[in-house]
Amino acid sequence: MFSSSQSLDCMSDPTQDQWNTALKAVLKKASRDPAFRAKTITDAATAFKEAAGLELPPQTKIRFVEKVEETVIALPPWKLIRMK
């Protein structure tokens, strides 16, 4: 989790490091807080803002799922993959 001085508030596209850090914060909080876990499923954008201070760009759509009948591996949008 971030302090207010570490906020990742971004109207432009977040960097790969910002995505990684924010996702870790969301997953960590969702693993410990059942109410927050439910929020990740119903409102991922709010979950990112609450757990990591990351405001998702309006065009970014993220969905968390809890139960699936099959294994799903989604590739992130190409612009999120920044190979060095």
Q: Sketch the domain layout of the chain as residue ranges.
A: 4-80
Mean pLDDT across the stretch 74-82?
A: 65
Whole-model pTM? 0.69
Can you give the pLDDT at residue 46? 95
In tens, the pLDDT along 6-43 reads: 444 444 678 888 889 999 999 999 999 999 999 999 99
In tens, the pLDDT along 39-72 reads: 999 999 999 999 999 998 888 888 898 888 888 7
Judged by phi (left if over 0) then psi (alpha if -120 to 50, else beta), residue 63 lies in beta
- Residue tagged 């870790």 (tokens): 24
